[in-house]
Amino acid sequence: MKQLVTTIAVALALAPALSNAEPVKIGFISTLSGPSALLGQDILDGFNLAVEHSGGSLGGREVDLITGDDQLKPDVARQLADRMVLRDKVDIVTGIIWSNVMLAIAKPVLDSGTFVISPNAGPSQYAGVQCHPQYFAVGFQNDVPNEAMGMYMQDEGYDNVYLMAPNYPAGRDMLNGFKRYYKGKVSDEVYTQLGQLDYAAELAQLRAKKPNALYYFISGGPGINFVKQYAQAGLKDSVPLFAPGFSIDQTILPAVGDAGVGAMAASFWSADLDNDVNKKFVADFEAKFKRSPSPYAAQGYDTGMLINSALAKTNGDTSDKKAFQAALEQADFDSVRGNFKFNTNHYPIQDYYLVEVVKDADGKATWKTIKTIVQGHADSYAADCKMASK
Ligand code: PHB
């Protein structure tokens, strides 16, 4: 009996240590099939490279990464999230690309006490009144890259710009962001279907309006079709293309080639940003995956590094929610972007660059960073987030 009591006492004393010897469970919900599968693959590959660069673990804990393909369907994502939270008991849910998917899963995941760390989706809803202690956005708030481009196009004197985006929460955020700083005429503001692959009708409409520039947000497979159809319609040379970086990036350029050359974009990251962490990330990503990393890959990498830094601070523990939240808030890692910190609403404060699509020495379309548009830029919703009282 005495021995049994001793054994139980020892087991109890070891319990916290043992729980940290268990892998940290991370639910990775992303789009891994269909025309936009490369976005999810880039985030996943970037994330896994961060784990590799952190010695095969995160904050000293092994990683049990449970992946699920949301097929870009909010209801599929919801089923995956419920299963990961209830059955797999994940500590963190990440991977999410699309704001409509995020808006379908964030509440049930957060209500269960699980952390949500978004590598990409940056809906305005969670940046303001609905901000949440366990919700973090590593990429951007949707409005903000577009604000940067609005600033640039306003400064450059564009005064008749045609606007296009898919009709869903992120599409509306993006164009709202652009209009926050661009004050010229809006030739038209057109909302397409999310996932739409044929833009003939919109392009005919655009041609008739005779704008002097197009500002658009269309990412993934649909973005490839859009850029190709734009060039095929003969519009590329008469109406120059402007976009947030992630709509004319390395998930799109190999498929569109010359059709993208000359486009300008605003991005918080580029492969040519001159810092040591970025150089290693780009070189190792290219060596391992035989393709150029995109901003999605950079965001996946930073998400891994953020989790690594926070787990290191809590000795691998996520059970003390406030402690893990505080560790994440510090964002104590070197981002591939250079300057990066979290605002009070857990969305980034970061710099935005103007990038141009150019041809490299091999004739391959690539990004060239032209200049910094704005430094340390935060979103306009943070003032409505009363995090301290949550
Ligand atoms: C979003 O839905 O929040 C979203 C999706 C794709 C992007 C950027 C934002 O490239």
pLDDT tens by residue, 277-286: 999 999 999 9
- Atom of ligand 1 at shortest range from CA of 123: 3
Q: Is the pLDDT of residue 4 over 70?
A: no
Question: For residues 354 and 152, is the Cβ–Cβ distance under 8 A?
Answer: yes
Question: Coil, strand or helix: which one is 58?
Answer: strand
Question: For residues 282 and 25, is the Cβ–Cβ distance under 8 A?
Answer: no
CA distances from 324 to 26, 127, 281, 315 (A): 14, 20, 26, 10
Question: For residues 313 and 351, is the Cβ–Cβ distance under 8 A?
Answer: no
Question: For residues 253 and 260, is the Cβ–Cβ distance under 8 A?
Answer: yes
Torsions phi, psi of 293, nearest 5?
Answer: -70, 150
- For the chain, report the end-to-end CA distance as a whole number of angstroms: 48
* Contacts of residue 350, Cβ cutoff 8 Å, sequence gap at least 6: 140, 268, 335, 337, 339, 340, 341, 376, 377
- Atom of ligand 1 at shortest range from CA of 296: 10
| Residue in 39, 73, 98, 294 to alter for ligand 1 test, most ligand atoms within 8 A of Cβ | 98
Structure tokens at 369: 């960073």
- pTM value surpassing 0.85: yes
- Residue 345's pLDDT is 98
Query: What's the mean pLDDT in 99-112?
Result: 98
Structure tokens at 307: 């989790």
Distance of CA 320 to the CA centre of its chain: 26
Rounded Cα gap, residues 199 and 232, in angstroms: 11
Rounded Cα gap, residues 369 and 38, in angstroms: 23
Beta strands in the chain (DSSP E): 24-30, 63-69, 92-94, 115-118, 135-137, 160-166, 185-192, 213-216, 241-244, 264-267, 340-342, 348-359, 365-377
- Residue 6's pLDDT is 54
Distance of CA 217 to the CA centre of its chain: 14
| Residue in 102, 118, 120, 138 to alter for ligand 1 test, most ligand atoms within 8 A of Cβ | 120
> 361 CA to middle of ligand 1, Å?
31
Rounded Cα gap, residues 191 and 187, in angstroms: 13
Query: What's the mean pLDDT in 111-116?
Result: 98
Rounded Cα gap, residues 328 and 138, in angstroms: 10
| CA-closest candidate to residue 52, choices 285, 317, 314, 275 | 285
Q: CB 13: neighbour CB atoms within 10 A? A: 10
Query: What's the mean pLDDT in 214-236?
Result: 97
- Residue 35's pLDDT is 96
Question: For residues 135 and 116, is the Cβ–Cβ distance under 8 A?
Answer: yes
> 97 CA to middle of ligand 1, Å?
6
For residues 357, 358, 361 and 363, what is the CA-based torsion angle, rounded to 10 degrees?
Answer: 80
Taking phi over 0 as left and psi of -120 to 50 as alpha, with beta for the rest, 166 belongs to beta
Q: CB 52: neighbour CB atoms within 10 A? A: 13
Query: What's the mean pLDDT in 277-305?
Result: 98
Q: Which residue has the higher pLDDT, 289 or 6?
A: 289
- Residue 254's pLDDT is 97
| CA-closest candidate to residue 31, choices 77, 89, 62 | 77
- Residue 8's pLDDT is 52
Average pLDDT for the chain:
95
The total number of residues written for the chain in this structure: 390
- Residue 390's pLDDT is 82
Pocket around ligand 1: residues whose beta carbon is below 6 Å from it?
97-99, 120-122, 142, 170, 219, 246
Structure tokens at 200: 């003939």
Torsions phi, psi of 334, nearest 5?
Answer: -90, 110
Whose CA is closest to atom 5 on ligand 1? 98
Q: CB 375: neighbour CB atoms within 10 A? A: 10
Query: What's the mean pLDDT in 30-54?
Result: 98
What percentage of the chain has pLDDT greater than the value 90? Answer: 94
Distance of CA 381 to the CA centre of its chain: 18
Whose CA is closest to atom 9 on ligand 1? 121
Torsion over CA: 359, 356, 265, 211 (sign): negative
Q: Is the pLDDT of residue 17 over 70?
A: no
Query: What's the mean pLDDT in 2-9?
Result: 53
pLDDT tens column, 157-181: 999 999 999 999 999 999 999 999 9
